[in-house]
C-alpha cells in the first residue's frame, strides 16, 4: 500500500476529471514544516501558533514569534502558509496568562475573544505575522470567530500594525490575506456576511462538530453524537462551502474530517478547494481525491444528503468507498 501511495509523490493534486485542489498540511511548530515538506505538502493550511506560547514561560516577543513564522514561510518557499493567531482556552491552557477559571471554558473567554480584549498583546503577534509575510505567502487566520465584529476588529488591528511597520520602515506584504476559521455554528450561519470580509475560510470540524452536536470529543458517553456523519454537521459543511465558493473565496478544511477517506467525495462535491491534513495523510488524501470525478461525487453526495441518520450516512459512504 505504501508503494502505491509513493506513486503520488511529486504529483499535482487533481480530481478524477482533472480539477486542481490544494493539499496542504497542519503543523504545530516550525520544525513540523520540514516534515510537511517531506510528505509532499503543497503548503501549510494550519499552523497552530499556540504551541509557541504553550512551550514558553512568558509571552514570546515579537522577534521570537517572527523567527518562528519566518522559518515556516522560508521553508515553504512560495507556497501558502496559513498561520492561525493564538487559540488559547478550551483544551489549550497557557498558565502565565493567568486566565480566570471558568465553569465552561469551551464557551468562555478564549481564542479571538481573549486576543481582541488584549489588543496590545494581539498586535505583537499580528506584527510578527506581517513581518514574516515579506518572506513567503503568509496568511493570517482567526480562531473561533462567532461574529462579523470580531473579523472587523481583527482587521482594524492588522491595519494599525501595518502603519506602525511603515513608520519603522519594515517590509511586509501589503496584500496579506486575512481569513477565518469556521468552527462554530454561529460562523456557519453567517458565512455569507463573513465571506464579504474574509479572504478565505478554513473549516475547523473538530470544534464545529462539538459545538453543533453539543458533544465533547473527549466524552465517551456522547461519542455517538460526535461524528461528522451527523446530518446536522453535513448540512452545515454544505452551507459553509457553497456560500464561500459562491462569494468567490477559497474554502478549505483543517479539521480532522479533511483526512477522512470516506468523506472526501462529499467535500469535493460541495466544492472544497483546500484540504489541510496531518503530514502522514497527504499522499493517501491525494490518491483518494484523484479517484473521484465530479459526476460520481455529486451522485453519491445527493444520496448522502437524503440520509436521516449518521449510521445511514456512514453505511452509504462505506459502500461507495473505492
Ligand atoms: C478544529 O477545531 O477543527 C481545528 C482545526 O482547530 P483545533 O483542533 O486546534 O481546535
Ligand atoms: Mg478549533
Please give all residues whose beta carbon lies within 6 A of any atom in ligand 1, as ranges: 46, 48, 87, 183, 204-207, 254-255
Give alpha helix (H) positions in the chain: 2-6, 32-38, 50-54, 62-75, 111-117, 119-132, 148-168, 185-189, 191-197, 205-213, 231-246, 264-270, 282-290, 294-304, 310-320
Instruction: Name beta bridge partners: 84.
Output: 48, 141
Confidence at residue 69, expressed as pLDDT on a 0 to 100 scale: 98
Which residue has the least CA distance to atom 4 on ligand 1? 204
Ligand 1 atom at minimum distance from 46 CA: 5
When pLDDT is averaged across residues 67-83 and rounded to a whole number, the result is 97
Contact residues for 63 (Cβ-Cβ < 8 A; gap 6+): 128
CA distance 134 to 136: 6
Out of 95-104, 176-185, 230-239, 242-251, least confident range: 95-104
Half-sphere exposure of 6 (CA within 13 A, CB side): 3
Q: Tell the residue nearest (CA) to atom 6 of ligand 1.
A: 204
Q: Looking at the predicted structure, is the pLDDT value of residue 1 above 80?
A: no
- pLDDT value of residue 133: 98
pLDDT on residue 165: 98
Q: What average pLDDT does the chain have?
A: 97
Atom 7 (ligand 1): residue with closest C-alpha?
206
**181 CA distance to ligand 1 centroid (A)?**
9
What's the confidence (pLDDT) of residue 3? 85
What ipTM goes with this model?
A: 0.99
Predicted pLDDT of residue 55? 85
Nearest ligand to the C-alpha of residue 203? Answer: 1
Question: What is the distance in A from the centroid of ligand 2 to the CA of 207?
Answer: 5
Express the helix, strand and coil content of the chain in percent, nearest 5 each. Answer: 50, 15, 35
pTM over 0.90: yes
Among 110, 204, 213, residue to substitute to test ligand 1 (most atoms within 8 Å of Cβ)? 204
Identify the pLDDT of residue 285: 98
Assess whether pLDDT exceeds 90 at residue 83.
yes
Among all residues, which ones are annotated catalytic?
Answer: 254
284 annotated as a binding-site residue? no
- What is the Å distance from ligand 2's center to 255 Cα? 7
List the one residue out of 86, 27, 33 whose CA is nearest residue 59. 86
Q: How far is the CA of 260 from the centre of ligand 2 (A)?
A: 17
pLDDT at 313: 98
- pLDDT at site 146: 98
> How far away, in angstroms, is 157 Cα from ligand 1 center?
23
* Closest ligand 1 atom to Cα of 203: 3
Instruction: Please give the pLDDT value at position 178.
Output: 98
206 annotated as a binding-site residue:
yes
Query: What number does the ligand 1 atom closest to the CA of 183 have?
Result: 2
93, pLDDT greater than 90: no
Sign of the CA dihedral with 150 first, then 152, 156, and 159 last: positive
Helices (H), 169-229: 185-189, 191-197, 205-213
The answer to the question of whether 118 is labelled as a binding residue is no
Question: For 169-173, what is the mean pLDDT?
Answer: 98
CA-143 nearest atom, ligand 1: 6
Of 90-94, 129-133, 190-194, 299-303, least confident by mean pLDDT is: 90-94
Is residue 117 annotated as involved in ligand binding?
A: no
- 113 annotated among ligand-binding-site residues: no
Amino acid at each position: 500500500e505504501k508503494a502505491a501511495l509513493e506513486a503520488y509523490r511529486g504529483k499535482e493534486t487533481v480530481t478524477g476529471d482533472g480539477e486542481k485542489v490544494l493539499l496542504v498540511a497542519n503543523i504545530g511548530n516550525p520544525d513540523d514544516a520540514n516534515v510537511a515538506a517531506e510528505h509532499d505538502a503543497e503548503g501549510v493550511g494550519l499552523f497552530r501558533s499556540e504551541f509557541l506560547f504553550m512551550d514558553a514561560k512568558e509571552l514570546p516577543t515579537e522577534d521570537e514569534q517572527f523567527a518562528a513564522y519566518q522559518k515556516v514561510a522560508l521553508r515553504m518557499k512560495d507556497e501558502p502558509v496559513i498561520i492561525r493567531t493564538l487559540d488559547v482556552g478550551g483544551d489549550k491552557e497557557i498558565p502565565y496568562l493567568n486566565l480566570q477559571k471558568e465553569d465552561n471554558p469551551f464557551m468562555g473567554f478564549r481564542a479571538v475573544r481573549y486576543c481582541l480584549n488584549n489588543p496590545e498583546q494581539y498586535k505583537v503577534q499580528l506584527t510578527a505575522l506581517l513581518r514574516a509575510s515579506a518572506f513567503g505567502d503568509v496568511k493570517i487566520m482567526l480562531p473561533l470567530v462567532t461574529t462579523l465584529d470580531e473579523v472587523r476588529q481583527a482587521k482594524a488591528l492588522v491595519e494599525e500594525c501595518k502603519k506602525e511597520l511603515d513608520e519603522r520602515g519594515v517590509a511586509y506584504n501589503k496584500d496579506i490575506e486575512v481569513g477565518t476559521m469556521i468552527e462554530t455554528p454561529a460562523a456557519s450561519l453567517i458565512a455569507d456576511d463573513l465571506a464579504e470580509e474574509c479572504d478565505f475560510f478554513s473549516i475547523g470540524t473538530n470544534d464545529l462538530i462539538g459545538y453543533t452536536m453539543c458533544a465533547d470529543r473527549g466524552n465517551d458517553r456522547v461519542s455517538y453524537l460526535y461524528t461528522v456523519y451527523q446530518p446536522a454537521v453535513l448540512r452545515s459543511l454544505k452551507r459553509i462551502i457553497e456560500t464561500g465558493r459562491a462569494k468567490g473565496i477559497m474554502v478549505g478544511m483543517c479539521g480532522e474530517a479533511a483526512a477522512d477517506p470516506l468523506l472526501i467525495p462529499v467535500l469535493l462535491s460541495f466544492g472544497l478547494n483546500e484540504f489541510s491534513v496531518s503530514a502522514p495523510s497527504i499522499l493517501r488524501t491525494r490518491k483518494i481525491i484523484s479517484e473521484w470525478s465530479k459526476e460520481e461525487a455529486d451522485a453519491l453526495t445527493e444520496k448522502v444528503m437524503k440520509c436521516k441518520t449518521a449510521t445511514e450516512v456512514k453505511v452509504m459512504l462505506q459502500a461507495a468507498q473505492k
